[in-house]
Amino acid sequence: MIENFLTDLRKPPCRARRKMVPPSLPSSMDTRQPMSKFGHLVDIDNRTVSPHAFFDPEVYRAEQEHIFARCWLYLGHDCQLPEPGNFITSYMGEEPIIVWRGPDRAVRAFINSCRHRGMKICRLDEGSAARLVCPYHAWTYNSQGELVGRPEQQKYSSSFDASAWGLIPVPRVASYGGFIFGCFDKNTVDLEEYLGDIKWYLDTQLKRTPEGRVIFPGVQKWTINTNWKFVCEQLSGDNYHAPIVHSSVGRLGFLGKPGQFAKAAPYEQDFEVRTPQGHSWINLSPTVPPDAHESFEPYEAQVRSDAAQILSAKQAELTDCGAVGTVFPNFAFISFLGSIGFRVTLPKGPAQTEIWFWSAADSEAPDWRKNMSRDINIRTFTAAGLFDMDDSEMWTGCQESMGGFYRAQYPLNYQLGRESGRRETERPGLIDSTPSESGMFGFYERWRELMTS
C-alpha cells in the first residue's frame, strides 16, 4: 500500500510535458536547466534536504521556471473584484500580475509589464479602470489585455500589428469556491484535478456553510529575510515546533487545553495528511480562545451539525476543527482558535520572502462572529501576531546559518514520524498521527519532482 502511494507521488505531476516556451519567446532563448540537475538536493530515502536548496541563486532561478511557471498559484478572491473593471495586483513567483475583471465579467490575468519597455503598467494594489495607461510611454491596454492606444501612432510602420503586442496573458485562470488561481503551463492538469485530495479537506473549512467564506478587505504584507520554502514547509505540516516556539502563548491558553493534541484518539481529529499532489494538512481538535465570546461554542456546534447537510458526515466532523493546510507550493491557510486566514508566500530572492495575509469568516456569520474571526486572526498569525512574531525569528535564524561552504555539506533532517501513514476509505490522502514531518517532506518530494522534470 505504501509502495503504491509512493509510486503515485513519483508520477509525473502533469501530462507528458512538452518543452514549455512562452508563446512570444523564440526557442533559441530558452534558458532552462538540463534535467535532473537538482535531484540530489532532496534525499528521498533518508528524508533529508540539502542547505543548497535554500540559498543557492541557481536553485532559486530554476524554481521560477520549474515551480512557479508550472503550478497553479493563488491570485486573489472573487469578492475583491465585485464589478467589471475592478483590478488587483498580485504575484506569481517573481512575475507581477494584474487580475482584472472584464466587461463580460470574466476574470483575466496578465503580467503587469508593458510590452514596450517593460514598465509596470499598474502601480496600485487595487482599483477600477476600463483601460490602463503605461506611465512610461503611454501604451494603453484594455481589460482584455489588448493594446488599444499608443502615442505617435503614425510614426510606426503601417505593418505594426497591435494584436501581437497585447499584455502577456496568464493562459489559465480558474477559481475554486471564489479562490482565483492562475497557471502559466498549458500542460498542467486543471485546477480541480491539481487540488486533488486536498479538496476534501479544504471543503471542511471553505465550504462549511452554504455561502462559503468571505474575505475581509485589505491585505497585510510583510517581508522576512528567509527563503520562501522555510515558510511554506512549516505551513505544510510542522506541528513539531508549536509547543516549543509558541510555549509563551501556550502558557496564556492559546494552544488549547494542556495535552489537547496528544494522542487519545490520534486519527480522529488530530492528524496530518499528505497528498500525492504535494499538498498537505494538519487537522487539530477544536480550540477555544482564552476569552471567547459566550456564543462561540454554540455557534460552532450549530455550524458542525448543519454542515452535515452540505458535506459528507466525515467532513462535517472536522468543520469546527483547527487546521493548517497548504496548496503546493505557496498558498496556505490557518484556521485556529475560531479564526481563519489565508496567505501567499512570495519569493523575493533566495533569502527574502514576502507574506501576504488575508482574514476571512463565514459569509452568513453574525457580526460578532465575523469580528471575532478577524480579531483573533490579527492577534495571532499576522506580522504582529502572538504566534508569527516568534516564527519569523526561526525562519531568519535558519537562513542566516545556511550560506557558508561548510554548513552546506550537511543536510537538514525531516525524519520525524516513524509511521508511513495509513489509507482510509472515507478520507483521502495518506494519514499520519501528529506531529510528523511526513507531510512537509511530501512538499520536498513534490518540489524535487518538478525541479527534475
Partner 1 sequence: MNAQSDVEVRAIRDVRSEVEDLLYREAWLLDRGLLDEWLELMAPDIRYWAPVRLDRARGKEDFSRHAQMAHLDENHQGLVYRVKRVQTGATYTDEPPARVRHFVSNVRVTALNDGIYEVASNFIVFRSHVGSKDCLLVGAREDKWRRSANYWKLKERLIILDHTTISGLAVLF
Q: Can you give the binding site for partner 1, defined by CB under 8 A?
A: 123-127, 216-225, 245, 247-249, 251-252, 290-291, 354, 357-359, 370-371, 374-375, 378-379, 382-384, 386, 389-390, 392-394, 396-397, 400
* CA proximity to 408, closest of 87, 126, 49: 49
Rank residues 78 and 390 by Cβ distance to partner 1 and give the closer one.
Answer: 390
User: Which residue type occupies 382?
Assistant: T
Closest contact distance (angstroms) between CB of 272 and partner 1 is 24
Shortest gap between Cβ of 222 and partner 1 (angstroms)? 5
Smaller CB distance to partner 1: residue 217 or 349? Answer: 217
Contacts (Cβ under 8 Å, ≥6 apart) of 19? 27, 30, 32
Rounded CA-CA distance 33/38 in Å is 9
Per the CB < 8 A criterion, the answer to whether 409 and 50 are in contact is no
Nearest to partner 1 of 55, 165 (CB atom): 55
- CA dist 433 and 139 (Å) reads 56
Which of 363, 396 has the CB closer to partner 1? 396
Shortest reach from residue 224's CB to partner 1, in Å: 8
Give min distance, CB of 382 to partner 1, in A: 7
Name which of 225 and 312 has its Cβ closer to partner 1: 225
* Pick 46 or 247: Cβ nearer partner 1: 247
CB of 43 to partner 1, least distance (A): 29
Min separation Cβ 128 and partner 1, Å: 9
Q: Which is nearer to partner 1, 46 or 248 (CB)?
A: 248
Give me the least distance between CB of 145 and partner 1, in Å please: 21
Least separation in angstroms between CB 125 and partner 1: 5
Measured from the CB atom, is 247 or 415 closer to partner 1?
Answer: 247
CB-based contact 50:41 (threshold 8 Å): yes
**Dihedral, CA of residue 135, residue 97, residue 207 and residue 285, to nearest 10:** -110
- Which residues lie closer than 8 Å to 76 by C-beta, 6 or more apart? 88, 90, 99, 180
Do residues 10 and 2 make contact, with C-beta atoms less than 8 angstroms apart? no
Nearer to partner 1, 5 or 333 (CB): 333
Q: At its nearest, how many Å lie between partner 1 and the CB of residue 248?
A: 4
Q: Using the minimum distance from each CB to partner 1, give the nearer residue, 58 or 125.
A: 125
Of 393 and 424, the one with the shorter C-beta distance to partner 1 is 393
Q: Give the integer Cα–Cα distance in Å for 444 and 231.
A: 13
CB of 97 to partner 1, least distance (A): 15
CB of 273 vs partner 1, minimal distance in Å: 29
